[in-house]
Structure 1
Amino acid sequence: MTAQFNEVVHAPNRLQICAFLNSTDRAEFSVIRDMLDVADSVTSKHLRVLEQAGYVRLLKPSGLGRVRTWVELTAAGRQAYLGHIAALRALIE
């Protein structure tokens, strides 16, 4: 892993999303929205940016009842997040 600032990850809401997903396998959209304390549209916008960068994967498993959107951090997303955190730590030191 290379310590490198990442503009995609750096935005505060996206950084929070990556930090949260780094600590779990996946999370439901509504949990992420509530954690950020923002509207659905704001959450969707940030997830779309992360998805387009290849940093998260959105899953909508079909089954009984309401379709829920699940989000998971990809290997590339984990690497980008950890590299960004390493760059921030190097800056602080």
Structure 2
Amino acid sequence: MQISDPTLSKQAAALEDAGYVHVRKGYVGKYPRTWLSMTPTGRAAFSAHVAALREITA
């Protein structure tokens, strides 16, 4: 399954607004690129989500 570039961009912006990721945009040669990195808040939220899923499946 694939999603469109605008949909992916919207989701990345929502995660950035929530403080879960840091978004950096730039170019590699003449091609635009976007890099996402998890923030400490995002890492904690992800860990809590995974722990909840493990609890459900246990």
| TM-score grouping bracket, smaller chain normalisation | 0.7 to 0.9
Corresponding residue for residue 46 of structure 2: 81
State TM-score, norm by structure 2: 0.81
Question: In the alignment, residue 4 of structure 2 is paired with which amino acid?
Answer: A
Structure number having the greater helix percentage: 1
Identity %: 38
Q: Which runs of 5+ in 2 are unaligned?
A: none
Q: Which runs of 5+ in 1 are unaligned?
A: 1-35
State TM-score, norm by structure 1: 0.54
Corresponding residue for residue 57 of structure 1: 22
Using CA pairs below 8 Å that are at least 6 residues apart, which structure has the higher relative contact order? 1
CA RMSD for the aligned pairs? 1.8
Structure number having the greater strand percentage: 2
Query: Which has the larger Rg?
Result: 2
